[in-house]
Structures are given as structure tokens and as C-alpha cells.
Chain A
Amino acid sequence: MDNLLPIKFRILHYLSTVETACADDFLIALKDEYGREKYFKKSVITEHLMDMKANFIIDDDEVLLDDAGQLVIYYKINDEGRKLLKKYLPKSWKNA
């Protein structure tokens, strides 16, 4: 059994380690962990990010268009999100 976090949890955790990140950043950063799994795709990550924003644990930051004219949204964790991580992140991940 792997020691990975559920992907939504890991997205929140990753956001606590960087200033801001967009969906593509997660695809690159978490590829080694989840890259072989079928549901590890941009649409899933985007939906998780929007869900977490709707639950007030992350905020959106910069909004821009990439070279192809696609919308890119950067997110950052807020105090509520950090509180959740402090309380519920497994010990093995806190020390990682």
C-alpha cells in the first residue's frame, strides 16, 4: 500500500509549500506521485481547486491568459486551509 495522500488533500498540502500554483503546476509537481493514475488529469485538479475555493480553504490569486488564449488561474492557501493541514495532515507528512 502506498503512503500517498488522497489527491485533493495533496493539492492542499502542495499549495502550503509554494506561494501560488495553477492546475498545470500541480500536474508537473505531482507527476511522480500520481502520474500513473487514470484520474490524474487537469480537469480533475481544476475541479478540486474550485471545490476548495468554494469551501473557503484556498483563494484565487492571479488570473491571466496563456499564449493559446486559455484561462490560467493561480491559487494560494489561506489561514483556514493552513489550520486544516495543521490539524489533520498525517504525522508522517508533517515531518516530510
Chain B
Amino acid sequence: MNDIVNRSAFAMKRQMDANFEKKGVLTGLFSGCTWGANNVLLGFALTLVPVLSGDAALYAIPLAAACINDTCAGLWLLLYNMSAGRLKEIFRSLKTMPGLMVCIAALMGGPIANSGYLLGISMAGPAYALTITALYPLVGAILSRIFLKQQILPRVWAGMLLSVVGAIIISYVPPEGDNSANFYLGIFFASLAALGWGSEAVLAVFGMSMIDPKIAINIRELTSGLCMAIFILPVVGGWAVLSEIIVLPATFATFAIAALAAGVSYLAWYMANSKCGVAKGMALNGTFVMWGVIFSAIFLGQELTQNLVAGSLCVLCGATLVAINPKEFFHKTEVA
């Protein structure tokens, strides 16, 4: 009798573990889908910003947009956490070292990576900068292997590589050939962006060993948004852009809706990272490039070029390889 009870207990536990893993994978995919939606909405919101010229258009607008995106996402998440009775948890977490690590993660993934990304594109050109920054999931996986001792299966490595190749194909821009005087500085900034996004996930996952992912992401978004507003925007003239956007209700509302998608996406990404590890979480979140292509084609009527289709298929195959063990999948099918 005891034996039967034990066996059913273990069977229930196996089912619970399988459901937990499945939830992690689905949450990761959902984060990619909503991040793709955020990218498209943010792109649309940017078309509503009054035209500016020169450096303002190059740095101030994208950085101001990133600042609004993070700050508004942080405020949406604050509402969500307050309604669930978790406000006190935010202050408790900020008083601990894991909470402060999430703040450092926010600085790496927010102001540092975003600025590096834009400076990289501007100085080294999009061909090189976009390729380097697309490597950020690999950076995150390597750092998580070193610092978090997370085991990464060869299948997951292969899936990640395929996804990164897909992302590079999608964002591929032919090199222009006339490298600027600051070319190597641009490569440095693009690498800094990849390091920033990669290390964000590792630092955050470490912090989330001891604090709730729902709290961690709230801290992340507000820290990033506020630091960009205080330290980065004044340098690039971003406050002027902010003040223009805030007085245009339709434009600001579009940014706020995009930020809602960002908040949901980041929440899902942090939860997935916490459940299925940095490598899987980043690879699944990386499907946003494919979702971005799909949403742009459906809602904005963007033309589907060969590059977009081939890259999206690579991302899809990569993410599938990360999420599903083909051996187990086909074995299950045979049994069924």
C-alpha cells in the first residue's frame, strides 16, 4: 500500500516538475512575443515624435524613447505589484544585497547597453554594430556558465547559435565601406552593449535567487528609467525631446501602451530566466526579432524580404531546439 502511495507521489512530483519547466519555456516565448510587440509599437510611437535634426535625431530621440519605455514600464509594474500587495517587498528587497545587484543589472541593461548600442551604430555603422549586439544571448550564456555554474546542454547551445545567426540575418545591413575615424571605438561600444545585456540577465538571476522576479523587474525598470533620465538624457539633450513628447497626448499614450507591452515582456523574461536558466531564457526571449517581423508584416504592411524570412526561420528553429528535446518529443509522439 505504502509503495503505491509513494509511486503516485513521485508520479505527481514528476508531473509538477514537467509543468514547471513547461511554464518557464512558455513564459520565455511569451516574453519574446510581447517584446516584438513592444518594438513595433515603439517604432510606431517614434514616428509621432516631432522631426529633429542632427545629433538630436541620432542620440536624443532613441535614448529619450528608451527612458520613457523603461520608466513607464516601471510605473505599470508598480501598479501591478501594488494591486497584488507587494509594495513593501520592493523596499525590503532594496535594502538587501540581492536587491542592489538587480539595480546594477538595471544599469548594465539600461543606460550602459542602450547608450553603447546607439553609439556603436553611429560610430562603427549598423553592419558591424548590429551583428555584435545580436551576440548578447551568447555573452549571457557564457557568463551564466562561469558565474552561476548553470549547465547548458549542447542542444541549447546549438539552438542559441541558430537564433543568433537568425537575428544577424534579420538585422543585416551591407557594410558601407567608409569606416569612420571612430570605427574601433564604435566596435567597443557595440561590445559594451552586448556585455551589458548579457550581464544584466546573469546579475538579475543571481539576485532573483533571493528576491521575487516580479519585484526584481520592477526595481530594474524604475532604476534604468530614472538613471537614464538623470545621467544620460541631460548629456544628449534628451530632456528637450521628453518635454516635446509629454505635451502630445496621442504620442505619449502610444509610448505608454508600448511600455505596457515592455513591462509585461520584461516580467515574463525575468520569470523565465528564474525558472529555466539564463541561456534558455535569453534564447526564448530572442524570438522577439521574429515576432517583430511578423507583427510589422501584419500591422504595418512591411514587405517580407528574403533576409527577414530566412532569419525568422532560423530564429524559430533555434528557439524550438532550445525549448524542446527532439528525442523526447518524437518518443512521446511514438508512444501516443
Contacts and interface: CB of A to CB of B under 8 A. Distances in A.
B210 A7 contact: no
B9 A6 contact: no
Interface in B68-114: 84-86, 88-89, 91-93, 95-99
Nearest to A13: B210
A37 interface: yes
Contacts of B332: none
A90 B275 contact: no
B96 A8 contact: no
| Best-buried of A6, A7, A50, A87 by chain B (most CB within 10 Å) | A6
Contact of B92 (A6, A12, A38, A73): A6
Contact of A55 (B9, B99, B274): B274
A11 B317 CA distance: 39
Interface string A1-21: 110111111001000000000
A27 interface: no
Interface residues of B, number: 37
B33 to A, nearest CB: 22
Contacts of B95: 90
A12 B210 CA distance: 7
Contacts of A87: 97
B333 interface: no
Contacts of A24: none
Contact of B99 (A6, A50, A71): A6
Interface in A51-82: 51-52, 54-57, 60, 63-65, 71, 73
A8 B211 contact: yes
Given A2-B88, A5-B92, A88 B276 contact: no
B143 to A, nearest CB: 15
Interface string B210-244: 11110100000000000000000000000000000
A65 B98 contact: no
A65 B92 contact: no
B300 interface: no
Interface of A: 1-2, 4-9, 12, 37-39, 48, 50-52, 54-57, 60, 63-65, 71, 73, 84, 87-88, 90
Instruction: List the 9 closest A-B pairs by CB distance, nearest first.
Output: A38-B85, A9-B210, A88-B97, A71-B12, A6-B93, A6-B211, A6-B92, A65-B9, A55-B209
22 contacts: A2-B88, A4-B92, A5-B96, A6-B96, A6-B98, A6-B210, A6-B211, A38-B84, A39-B85, A51-B213, A51-B274, A55-B205, A55-B208, A63-B6, A63-B9, A63-B13, A64-B5, A64-B6, A65-B5, A65-B8, A71-B16, A84-B209
Given A60-B13, A64-B6, 17 more contacts: A2-B92, A6-B211, A8-B211, A37-B88, A48-B212, A50-B275, A51-B208, A55-B205, A55-B274, A63-B10, A64-B9, A71-B12, A71-B13, A71-B16, A73-B13, A73-B16, A87-B97
